Amino acid sequence: MPELPEVETVRAGLARELTGRKIRAVAVTNGRVVRRHASAKEFRALVEGRTVKGVARLGKYLVVTLDDGGHLVIHLGMSGQLLKARGPKDPKPKHTHVVFTLSPPGELRYVDPRTFGELFVSTPPPEDVEVEVSKFARLAMSQDGLTLRRAVPELAHLGVDPLVDQIGWDRFAAILKSRSTPLKALLTDQDIITGIGNIYSDEILFTAGLRYDRPSDSLSTVEIRRLHRAITEVLGEAIKAGGSTLADEQFVDLEGRPGTYQESHQVYGREGQPCPQCRRPIERVVVRQRATYFCPNCQG
């Protein structure tokens, strides 16, 4: 499943491709991807004729701002891809569910074999309506994410986005100490920290030298600072590498290019291989039906 670095890679591509262009027409061939709307027709009417003002990201959600104040929200689910057509004759890939025809001319396709992803248009709430924003997100030092959550109430429940919201280590410490949740469960709970999933939680915890099952309120100040730094470092490096593309998941950017961060994975998917730090074998355990990779020697 695409996580923050992959979604951020798509966001950068979308911002380059869409900003300032008009969405001339939309074709929906699988209504399931616009399931929040009463019909595909309703979805189309909210998007067609609109010009794109910009593209943001919050957690694993892409937010395309339209010129009438609405927001086209896209979640790639397990296997969603946004692909730019290479020309007017470029054949549509299998499992293309939505096609955006652009002006100046161009085409963007939403492709999703497993169809867990979704697209919907959010209309801004009336000015007198107070949107309840997540208490974790309210710890943000930057206003951008809060403004976005208030404009798109469907995303107001999302916890802290490590990059958009930029919380300092001391506020991060307050979140960790407010509960006694195993670290991996906390890092992947989208209502607490948003954008991190199975791959990056394992990589972050290895970088921080912490086990997946350490209770969040058991960390020393030094450990909290290490974890806080590891989150920014790992996600930042992964974005620079264009995200991770695993053999079975086929994450690609708008141009169809895979990411390269999988080559830098220290523990994820490396069961039995030597730990990059101590050379002892990496272990794999299954927790809540999800595989977790770690070094029992380097992570405590």
Task: Report, in Å, the least distance between residue 70 CB and Zn ion.
Answer: 49
Residue 273 binds to Zn ion (criterion: CB under 5 A): no
Give the three-state DSSP class for 191: coil
- Contact region with Zn ion (CB under 5 A), list: 58-66, 71-79, 221-229, 287-295: 287-295
Tell me if 145 sits within 8 A of 152, measured CB to CB. Answer: no
Residue 297 binds to Zn ion (criterion: CB under 5 A): yes
Of 219 and 275, which CB lies nearer to Zn ion in the complex structure? 275
The reply to whether 154 belongs to the active site is no
Residue found by looking up tokens 């999800």 in the block: 290
| Cα(1)–Cα(181) distance, integer angstroms | 23
27: tokens are: 């074709």
The reply to whether 32 belongs to the active site is no
| Cα(143)–Cα(115) distance, integer angstroms | 33
Residue choice 78, 141, 174, 278 for contact with Zn ion (CB under 5 A): 278
Closest C-alpha to 206, from 268, 139, 141, 135: 268
| Cα(28)–Cα(33) distance, integer angstroms | 8
Residue 281: asked if its preceding bond is cis (omega within 30°), the reply is: no
Residue 193 binds to Zn ion (criterion: CB under 5 A): no
Question: According to CB under 5 A, which residues from 128 to 167 bind Zn ion?
Answer: none
| Cα(203)–Cα(194) distance, integer angstroms | 16
| Cα(258)–Cα(269) distance, integer angstroms | 17
Task: Report, in Å, the least distance between residue 285 CB and Zn ion.
Answer: 15
The reply to whether 60 belongs to the active site is yes
- Contact region with Zn ion (CB under 5 A), list: 13-21, 38-46, 193-201, 278-286: 278-286
Residue choice 270, 275, 293, 294 for contact with Zn ion (CB under 5 A): 275
Task: Report, in Å, the least distance between residue 183 CB and Zn ion.
Answer: 17
Angle at 192 (CA atoms; ends 187, 196), nearest 5 degrees: 40
The reply to whether 215 belongs to the active site is no
Task: Report, in Å, the least distance between residue 263 CB and Zn ion.
Answer: 19
Residue choice 218, 277, 287, 291 for contact with Zn ion (CB under 5 A): 277
Which residues face 285 on adjacent strands? 292
Residue 199 binds to Zn ion (criterion: CB under 5 A): no
- Contact region with Zn ion (CB under 5 A), list: 63-71, 197-205, 236-244, 292-300: 292-300
Q: Which residues bind Zn ion (CB under 5 A)?
A: 275, 277-278, 295, 297-298
Q: Which residues are catalytic?
A: 2-3, 60, 290
